[in-house]
Amino acid sequence: MIYLSEPDPKVTVGQDSDVVLPCSLSTEENTEFKLFDWKKVAQKDDGLKEVFLYDGGIHYNNGLDGQSEEFKGRVFHFPDELKYGDASIIIRNTTISDNGVYTCDFPRLQPPQTFYIELVVGSAPKPSITSLKETKDWRLLQCEVQGKPKPEVKWQDSDGNNLPAEKPQVTIKRGLFSITLNTTVTKSDRYRCVAKQEKIRHQVSAEIDVYIHGEILPHSDFICE
The number of C-alpha atoms within 13 Å of 99 and in the hemisphere containing its C-beta is 14
Report how far residue 21's alpha carbon sits from residue 100's, in angstroms, rounded to the nearest whole number: 12
Tens digit of each residue's pLDDT, the chain (225 residues):
333 444 458 898 888 889 999 999 888 889 999 999 999 997 666 678 999 999 999 999 998 999 999 999 999 999 999 999 999 999 999 988 898 999 999 999 888 899 999 998 887 677 999 999 999 999 999 999 998 889 999 999 999 999 999 999 999 987 789 999 999 999 999 999 999 988 777 888 999 999 997 555 554 444 444
- Sorted by where each starts, the structural domains of the chain and their CATH numbers stand as 10-122 (2.60.40.10), 128-210 (2.60.40.10)
The number of beta carbons lying within 10 Å of the beta carbon of residue 91 is: 25
Report how far residue 18's alpha carbon sits from residue 105's, in angstroms, rounded to the nearest whole number: 22
Name which of 49, 36, 38, 50 is nearest 112 in CA terms: 36
Contacts of 41 (CB under 8 A, 6+ apart): 48, 100, 101, 102, 103
The number of C-alpha atoms within 13 Å of 50 and in the hemisphere containing its C-beta is 14
pTM exceeding 0.85:
no
- Is 155 exposed, middle or buried, given 0-12, 13-18 or 19+ CB atoms closer than 10 A? buried
Strand partners, 180: 144, 169
- Is 186 exposed, middle or buried, given 0-12, 13-18 or 19+ CB atoms closer than 10 A? exposed
Strand partners, 131: 141
